[in-house]
Amino acid sequence: MQAVDSLRPAIESRKLASIQYLRGFAAVAVVVSHAANSLLGHEGHLLDFDLGAYGVDVFFVLSGFIMFYTSFDLRMRPGDFLVKRLIRIVPLYLILTTAMFAMVVLLPRSFNRESPDVVAYLASILFIPHWNPRAHNLEPLIGQGWTLNYEMFFYVLFALALFIRSRYNAFFVLPVIALLVALGHQHPVENPAYLTYTDPLMLEFCLGIVVAAAFKLGNAPSSRWPAFLFAILAAITAYLYTFHADLHGLVSLRPVMIGIPCSLLVIAAVTLERSGRLPKWSYLLLLGDASYSLYLVHGFILGFGQRLWHRLFTIHSALSHAAYIGFILVVSIAVSVPIYRYLEVWTGRKLTTAIERLRLRSREGRAAISTK
């Protein structure tokens, strides 16, 4: 089998149910947060689910964890790594961004935060950080896609680290990100790419790598850890709710105040699984698999759902707000699961097969030349 396909068994065998559960949890948290804020505006919501936005931080920590955990002790070539990541990320994002662009042009009243600007569309699908012409922020056409600009840059750094012939090559990423963040702090520049790649949020990828390294290189934590760590997380969450700590205005503290608790959550969940105390629920595993689709698709549901809810119901109570949030979540999951199964997985398989065939033909061509 070709190099890309040969990585599948090793990576599949390293897939952890706990990580899948956390991926699903993070996606649901983001959807709930966006749904709560979309109905009456960020300042006018009846129910406060702003903390759900920190599902993004869980995703960043998980990304660093997964990259280290699945590649450790595998002699993965940088090109193979990037191809696999691009196949995983690009097709669905390209399809949905193009669909969003069409929606913005055809239904501007339902999608009034997104811009019909062609340059912004091209920058979005190429993962180039840019100013949103309409929202006046760094969001691409699909707003939550801003995190993918961070992810793609992290993947490039991780691929470069794979050139180092050492089982510890992933640690190369840590000082590079630390230096970039320090540079951004000491010398701020109002440039979209500079602001993105020097953002302290990049440190959360490092936290994920450190957590994965603790499991791969050290002794497995005691099975008593989960209860202790969850107690700490509960105390931190209670503190944030009580004092309503809005860390969006304190970006430099977010990796500490949010990233570290997210890291503790990952440690607790993985430890719980490795101690044999984590049950396997197929529907939660499926939600984790479909988390990327859910993360991207729910923006479409919000665009239509908000207008529908305002037209059909009078929003005057926390109950009606809660019903709207539940409606958006249920519909988003119901739409994202088939999109994952029949679009995301299908395009990934087709692209993988096409790349394998190209590599086979290339090798056959080189072999034919060498025999002449």
What b-and-e string marks burial along 174-187, b requiring 16 or more CB atoms within 10 Å of the CB? beebeebbeebeee
Encode pLDDT of 244-299 as tens digits: 455 545 667 788 888 888 998 999 899 889 888 889 999 999 999 999 999 999 99
The Cα 184–Cα 194 span in angstroms is: 7
Least confident of 101-115, 146-160, 258-272: 101-115
Q: How far apart are CA 280 and CA 278, in angstroms?
A: 7
Q: Which of 41-45, 75-79, 157-161 has the lowest mean pLDDT?
A: 41-45
Q: How confident is the model at residue 238 (pLDDT cuts 50, 70, 90)?
A: low
Which sign, positive or negative, has the C-alpha torsion 208, 213, 216, 221? negative
The Cα–Cα gap between 276 and 323 comes to 37
pLDDT at 12: 40
pLDDT score at 136: 77
What token pair was written down for 248?
């969006």
Whole-number Å distance between alpha carbons of 202 and 252 = 11
Averaged pLDDT score across all residues of the chain: 83
The rounded distance, in Å, linking the Cα atoms of 216 and 197 is: 28
Phi/psi at 52 (nearest 5 deg)?
A: -60, -25
Residue 2 pLDDT class (50, 70, 90 cuts): very low
**5 or 136: which leads in pLDDT:** 136
User: What pTM was computed for the model?
Assistant: 0.87
As a whole number of angstroms, the distance between CA 94 and CA 359 comes to 24
Residue 326: enclosing H or E segment and its boundaries?
A: helix 318-339
Reported as a single tens digit per residue, the pLDDT across 187-211 is 889 999 999 999 989 999 999 998 8
N- to C-terminal Cα separation, the chain: 26
| Percent of the chain residues topping a pLDDT of 70 | 81
26 pLDDT above the threshold of 90? yes
Q: Where are the domains of the chain?
A: 3-363
